[in-house]
């Protein structure tokens, strides 16, 4: 199972490498279970798959979206009730309490994102009152900042990593057959699961600092898709990569 972030990871790197890697995913579809694990909402993923179809990007088998708050079929993009219902229960009643507090918080602006299980904002790091932001977590949420400009307000304990582990149990997948890949702080929770992780070469500095103590996270030198290939080789899946004799640095 290959679990990839989108922006900066699966959508990152040299265009030639992206095309080659997307083609490889299509050709290995019966052997490699591919999961998008992204901050994007389902409508954004649907648009991406249409826009990048000519580029070669195919539907994944499954999607973990909204930074872990949504799980959907990769083909239909319909949510999987058994996975999202528990998250819905955690989220119930939280927006009504949080929205007035967030509207009064300087340095944040609402993103035009429609989702039932999280709130999304852009963030001005110089204007925000960090103490007030942290205080919001007492209401039963986690406030996740990534790429130093995005703020996601999530049900407490729900993130890319927690949802991925639940999905692995549901699918009865051997954790040793799983590789994750990402580039920003919202991918840290995936790496903290203890699953094999690939931090691609173009990762943000804040993530680089956080993964330094995580022994199962490989720090790739190559960027984007080439970094994913580099990481797969590192974790012993080179036999699946006969079309990729090397990688650019």
- 6-17 pLDDT tens trace: 999 999 999 999
pLDDT for 113: 75
pLDDT for 81: 93
| 3 state SS for the chain | CEEECHHHHHCCCCHHHHHHHHHHHHHCCCCCCEEEECCCCHHHHHHHHHHCCCCCCCCCCEEEEHHHCEEEECCCCCECHHHHHHHHHHHCCHHHHHHHHHHCCCCEEECCCCCCCCEEEEECCCCCCHHHHHHHHHHCEEEEEECCCEEEEEECCCCHHHHHHHHHHHHCCCHHHCEEEECCHHHHHHHCCCCEEEECCCCCHHHHHHHCCCCCEEECCCCHHHHHHHHHHHCCCHHHCCCCCCCCC
pLDDT for 52: 82
Query: What does the alpha-carbon distance between residue 92 and residue 158 come to, in Å, rounded to a whole number?
Result: 14
**Segment 90-101, tens digit of pLDDT:** 999 999 999 999
**Segment 182-194, tens digit of pLDDT:** 999 999 999 999 9
End position of a domain, from candidates 155, 175, 199: 155
Burial category of 177 from C-beta neighbours within 10 Å (exposed 0-12, middle 13-18, buried 19 and up): middle
73 shares a domain with 35: yes
**What angle do the packed helices 94-103 and 81-91 form, to 10 degrees?**
60
222 shares a domain with 186: yes
Q: Would you say residue 111 lies in a domain? A: yes
Structural domain span for residue 126: 87-155
CATH number for the domain harbouring residue 185: 3.40.50.1000
pLDDT at 198 over 90: yes
105 shares a domain with 31: no
**Segment 127-160, tens digit of pLDDT:** 988 999 999 999 999 999 988 888 999 999 999 9
pLDDT at 248 over 60: no
Mean predicted confidence (pLDDT) in 174-186: 97
Q: Would you say residue 213 lies in a domain? A: yes
pLDDT at 249 over 50: no
Q: Residue 36 phi/psi, 5° resolution?
A: -75, 135
pLDDT for 192: 97
Q: How many other C-beta atoms can be found within 10 angstroms of the C-beta atom of residue 56?
A: 15
pLDDT for 242: 77
pLDDT for 247: 52
Mean predicted confidence (pLDDT) in 36-61: 93
pLDDT for 53: 80
Query: pTM of the full predicted structure?
Result: 0.93
179 shares a domain with 65: yes
Q: Based on the structure, what is the number of domains in the chain? A: 2
End position of a domain, from candidates 100, 128, 155: 155
């Amino acid at each position: 199972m290959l679990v990839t972030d989108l922006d900066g990871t699966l959508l990152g790197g040299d265009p030639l490498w992206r095309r080659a890697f997307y083609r490889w995913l299509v050709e290995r579809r019966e052997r490699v279970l591919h999961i998008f694990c992204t901050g994007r909402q389902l409508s954004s993923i649907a648009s991406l798959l249409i826009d990048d179809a000519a580029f070669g990007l195919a539907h994944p088998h499954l999607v973990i979206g909204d930074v872990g708050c949504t799980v959907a079929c990769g083909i239909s993009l319909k949510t999987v009730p058994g996975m999202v219902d528990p998250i819905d229960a955690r989220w119930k009643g939280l927006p009504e309490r949080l929205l007035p507090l967030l509207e009064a918080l300087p340095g944040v602006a609402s993103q035009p994102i429609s989702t039932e299980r999280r709130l999304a904002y852009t963030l001005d790091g110089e204007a925000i009152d960090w103490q007030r932001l942290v205080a919001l977590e007492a209401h039963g949420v986690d406030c996740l900042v990534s790429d130093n400009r995005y703020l996601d307000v999530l049900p407490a304990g729900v993130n890319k990593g927690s949802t991925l582990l639940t999905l692995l149990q549901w699918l009865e997948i051997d954790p040793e057959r799983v590789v994750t890949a990402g580039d920003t702080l919202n991918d840290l929770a995936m790496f903290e699961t203890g699953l094999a992780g690939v931090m691609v070469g173009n990762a943000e500095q804040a993530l680089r600092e956080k993964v330094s103590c995580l022994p199962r996270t490989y720090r790739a030198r190559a960027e984007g898709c080439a970094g994913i290939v580099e990481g797969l080789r590192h974790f012993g899946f080179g036999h699946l990569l006969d079309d990729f004799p090397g990688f650019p640095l």
